[in-house]
Amino acid sequence: MRTGGRKSGAPCLRAALILLLGLAGLAGRPVDCLVVRNEEGTELFRAVLPLGREYATRYIHSVQKTPVEDYYQIIRGRIWSVRERAQSHNAGLPFAAPEGGRFILDPPWMTVEGGRQNWPVIHLRVGDAGLGRNEFRNGSWRPLYSEFPGRRLSFWPDKTTLWQQ
């Protein structure tokens, strides 16, 4: 029997150990990521995309000279189109809801959602400051047109862990 009012540190130690093991388990769990490669297949960068997180590309339409934004998610190892936003519907830009989707008019933007389009990889020809002004967003916008002008980039779904970041 104890005397003197000292308490055992065992419950605190157990709680700290459980917390530490839980964090280690989460950091080692696979999460979706997007790997961006150049024409030679060299990895240029990767973006971690936890379940449900979107990434986006943006460009200036060559004819309309207005911004177009495409939003994607990785689902079961494929890249799914979530929505496309444009400020014009001329020159080949969307103007109607796809089957299973919807069209939203919210000036100055027109948004097409849904459509169930998906791909194993997306190839993107990057323009430059004068044509295209392609950008990538996973958080903030990244100017692909100044980093990789005129290059063909491939966006591949992959898996990573927080340990590997």
90-103: per-residue pLDDT in tens?
A: 766 666 788 888 98
Q: Is the pTM of this model over 0.85?
A: no
Share of the chain above pLDDT 90, in %: 54
Report the DSSP pairing between strands 122-125 and 31-37.
unpaired
Residue 66 contacts residue 49 (beta carbons within 8 Å): no
Distance of alpha carbon 62 from alpha carbon 130, whole angstroms: 10
Using the predicted structure, report yes or no on whether residue 165 has a pLDDT greater than 70.
no
